[in-house]
Amino acid sequence: MAEYADFLSVVRPEVPNAPKQTMVTAIKLALRELCERSHIWTYTMDPAVVYPGNQEVDLEFPSNAELVSVQNVDMDSLPLSPDSDFSVSLDGKIITLSSPVKEDKSVTIKLALRPSYDASSIEQWLVSDYLMTVAHGALAILFAQSGREWFNPNVVAYHTKKFSAGVANATIRACNGGKVNRRLRVKPHTFA
């Protein structure tokens, strides 16, 4: 496990006069936004059994996380459609099936998560894989704070652009099932 403060090695040299807690807050906001926009952190729950007459499934995920979205729900290996087959409670803790089941059903749920704001630890891979992306997001936030001695509107656009590019790459990676996108090699063909 890692901590939000693990990003400070990249952020602190750029804004040395900013208080540590201010930097950590900007890091938290950037990391949460990265996960929320890209859906890079996915979690598949252990299969849950829904018994006859019931239609609710409790969402269970790591304590250092918050729900961003329910990516898919399968019942007995068949995909369910959001809204028509199930709904998510407003507090994001329960999935309610559209009708009670008539026999035991196995439900598998894949979730998109983000670190909770008050988490004391975060997933190590978020630091390893997204150090620079999160640092750019945090720096964009910090440099945009007018009235502070580190305020620098001249570099906000640069860091925002780098952060957005990192989010886009993370989104592509999430769409590829977590795999890094590789360039395709194409063999040239001659046309007659």
Instruction: Note the pLDDT tens digit of each residue in 68-81.
Output: 999 999 999 999 99
Q: Is the same domain home to 58 and 98?
A: yes
* Residue-level pLDDT at 189: 67
Q: Is the same domain home to 30 and 46?
A: no
Q: Is the same domain home to 31 and 49?
A: no
Does residue 155 lie in a domain region?
yes
Does residue 143 lie in a domain region?
yes
Q: Is the same domain home to 139 and 91?
A: no
pLDDT digits (tens, 9 = 90+) for 20-48: 999 999 999 999 999 999 999 999 999 99
Does residue 19 lie in a domain region?
yes
Instruction: Region of 139 please: left (phi>0), alpha (psi -120 to 50) or beta.
Output: alpha
Enclosing domain of residue 171 = 4-39+123-175
Does residue 8 lie in a domain region?
yes
Q: Is the same domain home to 34 and 46?
A: no
Does residue 72 lie in a domain region?
yes
Confidence band, pLDDT 50/70/90 cuts, at residue 83:
confident
Does residue 188 lie in a domain region?
no
Does residue 184 lie in a domain region?
no
112: CB partners within 8 A, 6+ apart = 35, 39, 41, 42, 67, 68, 69, 70, 71
Sign of the dihedral defined by the CA atoms of residues 77, 83, 49, 57, in that order: positive
pLDDT digits (tens, 9 = 90+) for 115-135: 999 998 999 999 999 999 999
Confidence band, pLDDT 50/70/90 cuts, at residue 182:
low
Please count the structural domains in the chain. 2
Span 160-183, mean pLDDT?
85
